[in-house]
Amino acid sequence: MQMPVPNPAILARKAQIVRRLQSVLPADAVVHDPADTRAYECDALVAYRCAPLCAVLPRTTAEVSAVLRICHEEGVPVVPRGAGTSLAGGALPTADCVLLGVARMNGLLEVDYPNRFVRVQAGRTNLSVTGAVEAQGFFYAPDPSSQLACAIAGNIAMNSGGAHCLKYGVTTNNLLGVTLVQMDGTVLEIGGGFLDAPGLDLLGVICGSEGQLGVVTEATLRILPKPEGARPVLIGFDANEVAGQCVSDIIRSGVLPVAIEFMDRPCIEATEAFAHAGYPDCEALLIVEVEGSPAEIDEQLARIIAVARRHNPVEIRESRSEAESARIWLGRKSAFGAMGNINDYLCLDGVIPVSDLGLVLRRIGEMSREYGLDVANVFHAGDGNLHPLILYDANKPGDLELCEEFGAAILKLCVEVGGCLTGEHGVGVEKRDLMGVQFSDVDMEAQLRLKDVFDPRWLMNPAKVFPLVLTAGRRAA
């Protein structure tokens, strides 16, 4: 993967830039020794690494503003970083950038139960938002699987989803306000403790903008009352297509599950060997979870099971207790660990119309044989968000490249059937060069104009989201 050539003039001015940053930050908040900057050389897309010029770890919006003003004056690119859990390389540095980490900005600023929101500094972890309000019976709904580690700042940058977004939506549907610092240091306050922002929906534009528009330092988040309870049912099928049809029929039946998770045979076998969850021996299984009181759960599960029976399931396993629920979820939750135990893998994130699940899974199976690489599928079926895991051997020359080529072919297929390249991980550097598959140059030009407005000098999070050839003129200007 290609990255822009670092600007030698910036590299040569490192000492001066570091001194200026030190003048506005405490000594421990500027990391510039090459032995220390290596800690920031990659995020969770570990195949690509590059240490930044230096890293800064501000604690307040005012410090972020001061840092950005200096970088703007110096013409230095800035790469914002939440907790570094991006699977798309959204926080991959360039050698001539200042990496701005928000991890020290983790304060809880305001909790308002009557109006159902919290205001946090954006470096706070996702799970600790729920942690701060759960004693009062509330939770923060978006739950990416990295929620123990990932930061709200990164969730906003990538518009993160999670297993429960079928019912509760993704980050953009649960975000009420942000403080955003533009590249020139200007502080914007957007939205707040009310439901709709005035004027143009800048909040909706900022959410999911992958650090292209500015640095989010504070966020107002909607909190929801916790449901009384939740229970899943596990349903096994003898074909992927049948399981896919069952997902569509459940959705049509009027029940709104909080989650519909799908696993295919390779994934079931790998997790069985790893976690011994006792899953049935079948081609595909669904885990469907519903919420409510015990009686409400019974009623919804009965309706789901009635739908499933029309598809001749191999097995139906309805949870009756917390322990049974935990066993049903055990395999799903250890799926990624199980796959990692077998081999290196690339995790994709394409989305397709739910109605095309069967077709797309069959095509992926055929491509798997053509490329000679195994694929396991485990994903959020209710909203068509696929996560094919392509297995490869990082030590075998050429295997990563082959794997990436196969991954690109799968994502092209997703777009062909009416879907998109990424449902919750973001584009980052990983899918940057595939954007032309989904968008025309004019479509992308409209997005570039949006960035022009917020970051006219194109210094924020360089070389992400858009193909480099499309942005070269703007970056050089």
Partner 1 sequence: MKPATEAEVVECLAAASGPLRIVGGGTRGIGGTRGEVLETGGLAGISLYEPGALTLVAGAGTPLAEVEAVLARAGQRLAFEVPDFRALLGRRGVSTLGGVVAANASGPRRVQAGACRDALIGVRFVDGAGLVVKNGGRVMKNVTGLDLVKLMAGSWGTLGVLTEVAFKLLPVPEASVTLRLPGLDDARAVAALAAALGTPYEVTGAAHWPGQGTYLRLEGFSGSVDYRAGRLAEVLAGFGAAERVDGVARWQAIRDVTAFAGCAGDVWRLSVKPSDAPGLVARSGAQAVLYDWGGGLVWLLMPEGADLRAALGGFSGHATLVRAAAETHARLATFQPEAPPVAAITAALRARFDPRGILNPGLM
Footprint (CB under 8 A) of partner 1, residues 437-476: 438-440, 442-447, 449-454, 465-466
For partner 1, the binding residues in 308-347 under the rule CB under 8 A are none
Cβ-based neighbours of 105, under 8 Å, separated by 6 or more? 58, 59, 60, 64, 121, 122, 123, 124, 153, 217
Q: Shortest approach of partner 1 to residue 399 CB, angstroms? A: 27
Q: What is the amino acid identity at position 461?
A: N
385 lies in the binding site for partner 1 (CB under 8 A): yes
Distance of CA 160 to the CA centre of its chain: 4
226 lies in the binding site for partner 1 (CB under 8 A): yes
Q: What is the amino acid identity at position 40?
A: Y
Radius of gyration of the chain (CA): 23
Q: Shortest approach of partner 1 to residue 149 CB, angstroms? A: 19
Question: Of residues 15, 195, 323, 476, which one binds partner 1 by CB under 8 A?
Answer: 195
Question: Of residues 405, 418, 472, 473, which one binds partner 1 by CB under 8 A?
Answer: 418
Question: Of residues 143, 261, 424, 430, which one binds partner 1 by CB under 8 A?
Answer: 424
**3-state SS of 426-447?**
CCCCCCHHHHHHHCCHHHHHHH
How long a stretch of residues is the chain? 477
Question: Of residues 121, 172, 319, 368, which one binds partner 1 by CB under 8 A?
Answer: 172
Work out the angle between the directed axes of helices 335-342 and 322-333 (0-180°, nearest 10): 40
Please tell me what DSSP assigns to residue 258: S
Q: What is the amino acid identity at position 175?
A: L
Q: Shortest approach of partner 1 to residue 254 CB, angstroms? A: 4
Q: Shortest approach of partner 1 to residue 468 CB, angstroms? A: 15
Question: Of residues 2, 11, 194, 312, which one binds partner 1 by CB under 8 A?
Answer: 194
H-helix or E-strand spanning residue 55? strand 54-56
425 lies in the binding site for partner 1 (CB under 8 A): yes
137 lies in the binding site for partner 1 (CB under 8 A): yes
Q: Shortest approach of partner 1 to residue 53 CB, angstroms? A: 26
Helix (H, G, I), strand (E, B) or coil at 56: strand
For partner 1, the binding residues in 15-44 under the rule CB under 8 A are none
For partner 1, the binding residues in 77-136 under the rule CB under 8 A are 112-116
Q: Shortest approach of partner 1 to residue 17 CB, angstroms? A: 26
Q: How far is CA 84 from CA 147, 152, 255, 463, in A?
A: 12, 12, 37, 17
188 lies in the binding site for partner 1 (CB under 8 A): yes
The span of 1-9, 32-40, 181-189, 333-341 binding partner 1 (CB under 8 A) equals 181-189
Question: Of residues 22, 173, 334, 343, which one binds partner 1 by CB under 8 A?
Answer: 173
Cβ-based neighbours of 9, under 8 Å, separated by 6 or more? none
Q: Which is nearer to partner 1, 177 or 232 (CB)?
A: 177
Gap between the Cα atoms of 11 and 310, Å rounded:
66
Query: How many residues of this chain bind partner 1 (CB under 8 A)?
Result: 96
Q: Shortest approach of partner 1 to residue 29 CB, angstroms? A: 25
Q: What number of other Cβ atoms are within 10 A of residue 377's Cβ?
A: 24
Q: Shortest approach of partner 1 to residue 155 CB, angstroms? A: 11
The span of 10-18, 224-232, 271-279, 306-314 binding partner 1 (CB under 8 A) equals 224-232
For partner 1, the binding residues in 274-293 under the rule CB under 8 A are 292-293
Q: How far is CA 455 from CA 58, 77, 190, 472, in A?
A: 21, 11, 17, 15
In sequence order, what DSSP letters do the residues of 459-476 get, joined into one string? -BSTT-SS-HHHHHHHHH
